[in-house]
Amino acid sequence: MASQIEPIQRMAAQLARLPGIGQKTAQRLAYFIVSLPEDQVHELAAAIWQGRKAVRYCAVCGNFTENERCSICENDERHNGQLCVVRDPRDVAALERMQDYRGVYHVLGGTLSPMNGIGPEDLRIRELLSRLSTEDITEVILATNPDIEGEATATYIARLIKPLGVKVTRIAHGVPVGSDLEYADEVTLAKALEGRREV
Amino acid sequence: MASQIEPIQRMAAQLARLPGIGQKTAQRLAYFIVSLPEDQVHELAAAIWQGRKAVRYCAVCGNFTENERCSICENDERHNGQLCVVRDPRDVAALERMQDYRGVYHVLGGTLSPMNGIGPEDLRIRELLSRLSTEDITEVILATNPDIEGEATATYIARLIKPLGVKVTRIAHGVPVGSDLEYADEVTLAKALEGRREV
């Protein structure tokens, strides 16, 4: 079309590859970005590119870090014997926001998904086993998502490491705090009942 | 916080400056971008920065273009005497999608907004008057948004250019096609009635 300005279309096409950003939003963002002062756009592009270049995976736990090891693994106080297994670095950030957990993490880099051809060898499970044999771990907390793939991954890892004599726990399922029972699904309600505690 | 990785936070902060992208979405996008292969992130950052650098304002109409004049102004067939006044380049793109309008455009670069200190001298109104005196324009179509500022701007321009003897029209207000009368607001309904036509 006559009015389609190619650099804007190219920008919109790139933005539309981001999760949750559709064609229309990408178009709107591209027009907005093009109307910004050059220095602001440079800051944005530089933050994206330099951010990507600065970040790598922690050699120990697989979390994002700027250094060889992430700040959690580097912190001696965090090595309290607890190791929390999560799917990806975003989950580490979520758990850290809680400011309650004081152990270390192990990032799997995904969850088992036979449908998508993701098997145990595609996750950082070998690295987990190696850590259990070298580090002083007393409890492995399986904090993968409470969905089918997360459950399957947790079950798989639990079976694998229980024989090693380490305590293996799974995060609790139940109704989220602040939510409404009426809107909870049956499986969640069943889990909430099953996991009930005396008050 | 220990787990906050600075380059990711910087990226998220930049993304959060974009319209419609809140802190949480920006955070999610930043984590996603950091996990992408380097070449993909480079493509994204380059499309943003090079896109901004490649695009400037058409010297005639104020639309975005890669060249001195935009492709619409360059197209002799589009100079049919009709000139459509819009707020910004995005509106040009919206009207062009219709593939129906065959005249040229004039982009104001905003709308009158005394509250925000935007007066006639901040818009490309002087350029509009200059075009009316040099180009062969028979009809000016005021296509600013049907909101308070858009209406005020249209009214202001209409008063200014009617004395020049040029035909001035305003796009029709009414109920959007495919919408439901039940959900239309009173002002829109009143405008729709007022603008009714014999069938």
Higher pLDDT, A185 or B27: B27
Give A35→chain B minimum CA distance, Å.
8
Contact A18 B32 (CB under 8 A): yes
Nearest chain B residue (CA) to A9: B51
Nearest chain B residue (CA) to A14: B44
Nearest chain B residue (CA) to A67: B5
Paired sense of beta strands A56-57 and A64-65, if any: antiparallel
User: According to the model, what pLDDT value does residue A49 have?
Assistant: 97
Model confidence at A80, pLDDT cuts 50, 70, 90, reads very high
pTM listed for this prediction:
0.82
Determine contact: A143 vs chain B, CB below 8 A.
no
Paired sense of beta strands B56-57 and B64-65, if any: antiparallel
Model confidence at B1, pLDDT cuts 50, 70, 90, reads very low
Contact B18 A35 (CB under 8 A): no
**Residue B22, C-beta contacts closer than 8 angstroms, at least 6 positions apart:** B16
User: According to the model, what pLDDT value does residue B146 have?
Assistant: 87
Per the CB < 8 A criterion, the answer to whether B118 and B144 are in contact is: no
Contact B3 A30 (CB under 8 A): no
Q: Spell out which residues of chain B touch residue A48, defining contact as CB-CB under 8 Å.
A: 11, 14-15, 33, 41, 44-45, 48
Determine contact: B48 vs chain A, CB below 8 A.
yes
Contact B1 A97 (CB under 8 A): yes
Give A138→chain B minimum CA distance, Å.
23
User: According to the model, what pLDDT value does residue A1 have?
Assistant: 44
Q: Spell out which residues of chain A touch residue B71, defining contact as CB-CB under 8 Å.
A: 2-3
Q: What whole-number distance in Å separates Cα of residue B158 and Cα of residue B178?
A: 30
The residues spanned by each domain of chain B are 2-54, 74-172
User: According to the model, what pLDDT value does residue B190 have?
Assistant: 82
Model confidence at A183, pLDDT cuts 50, 70, 90, reads confident
What does the CA dihedral A144, A147, A149, A155 come to, rounded to 10 degrees?
A: 60
User: According to the model, what pLDDT value does residue B194 have?
Assistant: 82
**Percentage of the residues of chain A whose pLDDT score is greater than 70:** 98
Contact A30 B51 (CB under 8 A): yes
User: According to the model, what pLDDT value does residue A97 have?
Assistant: 85
Contact A45 B45 (CB under 8 A): yes
Q: What whole-number distance in Å separates Cα of residue A98 and Cα of residue A106?
A: 17
Give B118→chain A minimum CA distance, Å.
17
Contact B63 A3 (CB under 8 A): yes
Determine contact: B110 vs chain A, CB below 8 A.
no
Q: How high does pLDDT run on average in chain B?
A: 92
User: According to the model, what pLDDT value does residue B51 have?
Assistant: 96
Determine contact: B138 vs chain A, CB below 8 A.
no
Which CATH code for domain A74-172? 3.40.1360.10
The sign one gets for the Cα dihedral A150, A155, A161, A162 is positive
Per the CB < 8 A criterion, the answer to whether B71 and B105 are in contact is: no
Q: What is the ipTM of this complex?
A: 0.84
User: According to the model, what pLDDT value does residue A12 have?
Assistant: 97
**Percentage of the residues of chain B whose pLDDT score is greater than 70:** 98
**Residue B138, C-beta contacts closer than 8 angstroms, at least 6 positions apart:** B81, B82, B166, B167
pLDDT digits 0-9 by tens, B81-115:
999 999 999 999 988 988 889 999 999 999 999 99
pLDDT digits 0-9 by tens, B181-191:
888 888 888 88
**For B176-181, what is the mean pLDDT?**
82
Determine contact: B93 vs chain A, CB below 8 A.
yes
User: According to the model, what pLDDT value does residue B184 have?
Assistant: 81
- Cα–Cα nearest to A12, from B184, B48, B160: B48
Q: Which CATH superfamily is domain B2-54 in?
A: RecR Domain 1 (1.10.8.420)
Contact A51 B27 (CB under 8 A): no
Distances (CA, A) of B6 to A20, A47, B12: 24, 11, 10
Residue A3 has pLDDT above 60, yes or no: no
Which single residue is written with the structure tokens 């005394």?
B114
Model confidence at A28, pLDDT cuts 50, 70, 90, reads very high
Model confidence at A189, pLDDT cuts 50, 70, 90, reads confident
Determine contact: B25 vs chain A, CB below 8 A.
yes
User: According to the model, what pLDDT value does residue A199 have?
Assistant: 75
pLDDT digits 0-9 by tens, A95-153:
898 888 999 999 999 999 999 999 999 999 999 999 999 999 999 999 999 889 999 99
Residue B3 has pLDDT above 70, yes or no: no
Q: What whole-number distance in Å separates Cα of residue A117 and Cα of residue A171?
A: 26
The residue among B29, B44, B50 with the most chain A CBs within 10 A of its CB, best to mutate, is B44
Residue A2 has pLDDT above 50, yes or no: no
